[in-house]
Amino acid sequence: MTDLAARLLDAPAAHLSLVEGATALAGLATPLTADDLCVATADATGPLVVPDAAADSRVATVAAVVEGAVGAYLGVPLLGREGRVLGALCVTHPAPRDWSGTEVALLTDLAAAAVTELELAALSADYEADRVRWQLAVGAGGVGSFDWDLVTGRIDWDDQLHLLFGMEPGQFGGTIEEFNAVLHPDDVPRVAQAIDRAVATCSEYDAEYRVLLPGGSTRWVQARGTVLAGEDGTAVRLLGAAYDTTAKRDAEGRIARVLETMSAAFFLLDDAWRFTYVNAEAERLLGRTREQLVGGDIWELYPAAVGSDFEVNYRGAVQSGQPRAFEAYYPPPLDAWYEVRAWPGQDGLSVYFLDITTRRTSQQEAGRAQERLRAASARLHLLAAVSDDLSSTLDTEDAVRRLARHLVPGLATWCLITMADEHRHLRDIASWHAEPGLRRTVEHYADLRLTALSPRSYLFQALRTGQLVAVPDATETIAAALSGEAREVLRGLAPHMAYAIPMRARGRTVGAITLFLDAERGTLPPEDLTMLVQLADRAGLALDNARLYEEQRHISETLQRALLSAPVEPDHVHVVVRYLPADQAAEVGGDWYDAFLQRDGATVLAIGDVMGHDTQAAAAMSQVRTLLRGIAYTSGGSPAEVLESLDDAMRALKVDTMATAVVARLEQTDEQRARGQRRLRWSNAGHLAPLLVRPDATVHPLHGAGPEMLLGVAPGRRRTDSDVVLDSGSTVLMFTDGLVERRGEHVRDGLDRLHAVLTELAPDAVAAARSPDGLDLEALVDEVVRRMLDGRADDDVAVVAVHLYPQDAPRPPEAGPAHL
Contact between 285 and 267 (Cβ < 8 Å): no
Residue 263 is predicted with a pLDDT of 74
Answer for the pair 601, 571: CB distance below 8 angstroms, yes or no. no
Supply the pLDDT for residue 224: 92
Helix (H, G, I), strand (E, B) or coil at 365: helix
Is the pLDDT assigned to residue 257 strictly greater than 80? no
CATH numeric code, 563-804: 3.60.40.10
Q: What pLDDT was estimated at residue 622?
A: 81
Enclosing H/E stretch for 318: helix 309-320
pLDDT per residue as tens digits for the range 106-128: 999 898 888 888 877 777 666 66
Would you identify the CATH topology of the domain 144-245? Beta-Lactamase (3.30.450)
> Given the DSSP bridges, would you call strands 797-804 and 731-735 parallel, antiparallel or unpaired?
antiparallel
Q: What is the mean pLDDT of residues 484-501?
A: 94
699-712 CB burial, b ≥16 within 10 A, e <16: beebebeebbbbbb
Predicted confidence at residue 33, as pLDDT, reads 39
Residue 375: pLDDT band (50, 70, 90) is low
DSSP 431-442: EEESSGGGHHHH
pLDDT digits (tens, 9 = 90+) for 755-764: 999 999 988 8
pLDDT (tens digit, 9 = 90+) per residue, 151-172? 999 999 998 899 999 999 989 9
Distance CA 683, CA 173 (A): 101
pLDDT confidence tier of residue 41, bands split at 50, 70 and 90: confident
- Answer yes or no: is pLDDT of 80 > 90: no
Mean pLDDT value across residues 227-238: 90
Domain boundaries, the chain: 2-123, 144-245, 262-361, 371-552, 563-804
Query: Is the pLDDT assigned to residue 769 strictly greater than 50?
Result: yes
**Is there a contact between 449 and 428 (Cβ–Cβ < 8 Å)?**
yes
Q: Is the pLDDT assigned to residue 586 strictly greater than 60?
A: no
Which is more confidently placed, 698 or 505?
698
Residue 139 reports pLDDT greater than 80 = no
Winning range, highest mean pLDDT, from 25-34, 288-297, 569-578: 288-297
Q: Cα separation of 211 and 524, whole Å?
A: 75
pLDDT for res 507? 79
pLDDT at residue 385 tops 80: no
Diameter of the chain by CA atoms?
140
Domain range 2-123, CATH architecture: 2-Layer Sandwich (3.30)
Q: Which pLDDT belongs to residue 599? A: 87
State the Cα–Cα distance between residues 88 and 42, nearest whole angstrom.
6
pLDDT at 313: 95
Whether residue 131 is predicted with pLDDT greater than 90 in this model: the reply is no
Contact (Cβ atoms closer than 8 angstroms) between residue 90 and residue 14: yes
Query: How far is residue 220 from each of residues 189, 217, 249, 334, measured CA to CA in Å?
Result: 16, 10, 7, 39
Class of domain 371-552: alpha beta
pLDDT at 23 (0 to 100): 39
Reduced to 3 states, what is the DSSP secondary structure of residue 185?
helix
Whole-number pLDDT of residue 157: 92
Span of 29-43, 67-81, 328-342, 737-751 with lowest mean pLDDT: 29-43
The pLDDT value given to residue 425: 83
pLDDT score at 776: 83
Q: Which residues contact 137 (CB under 8 A, 6 or more apart)?
A: none
The confidence score (pLDDT) of residue 147 equals 92
Which ranges of 60-145 does DSSP label H, i.e. alpha helix? 63-66, 101-140
Q: Give yes or no for residue 437 having a pLDDT over 90.
A: yes
| CA gap 569, 603 in Å, rounded | 9
Lowest mean pLDDT among 195-204, 215-224, 257-266, 630-639: 257-266
Nearest Cα residue to 279 out of 271, 289, 270: 289
- Strand partners for 345: 348
What per-residue confidence (pLDDT) applies to 32? 34
Q: For residue 731, give the 3-state DSSP assignment.
A: strand
Mean pLDDT for 781-809 is 87
pLDDT bin (cut points 50, 70, 90) of residue 592 is confident
From the list 428, 429, 408, the residue with the least C-alpha distance to 518 is 408
Residue 509 pairs in a beta bridge with 504
- Structure confidence at residue 24 (pLDDT): 36
Mean pLDDT of the chain: 85
Q: Is 414 exposed, middle or buried (0-12, 13-18, 19+ CB in 10 A)?
A: buried
767 vs 299 pLDDT, higher one: 299
Counting other chains too, the contacts that 791-795 makes at CB distance below 8 Å and 24 or more residues apart are: 792/583, 793/580, 793/581, 793/582, 793/583, 793/738, 794/582, 794/583, 794/584, 794/738, 794/741, 794/742, 794/743, 795/582, 795/589, 795/737, 795/738, 795/741
pLDDT digits (tens, 9 = 90+) for 611-664: 876 666 777 788 888 899 999 999 999 999 999 999 999 998 888 889 999 999
- Residue 597: closest CA among 662, 666, 649: 666
Question: In CATH, what number does 262-361 get?
Answer: 3.30.450.20
Q: Starting at the earlier edge strand, list the strands of the sheet with 659-667.
A: 591-597, 603-610, 659-667, 677-685, 722-727
Residue 492 has pLDDT above 90, yes or no: yes
pLDDT at 326 over 50: yes
Tell me whether the CATH fold assigned to 262-361 matches the one assigned to 563-804: no
Output helix, strand, coil percentages for the chain, rounded to the nearest 5: 40, 25, 30
Nearest residue to 527 (alpha-carbon basis) of 380, 337, 395 = 380
pLDDT > 80? residue 423:
no
Mean pLDDT of 770-796: 82
pLDDT at 389: 64
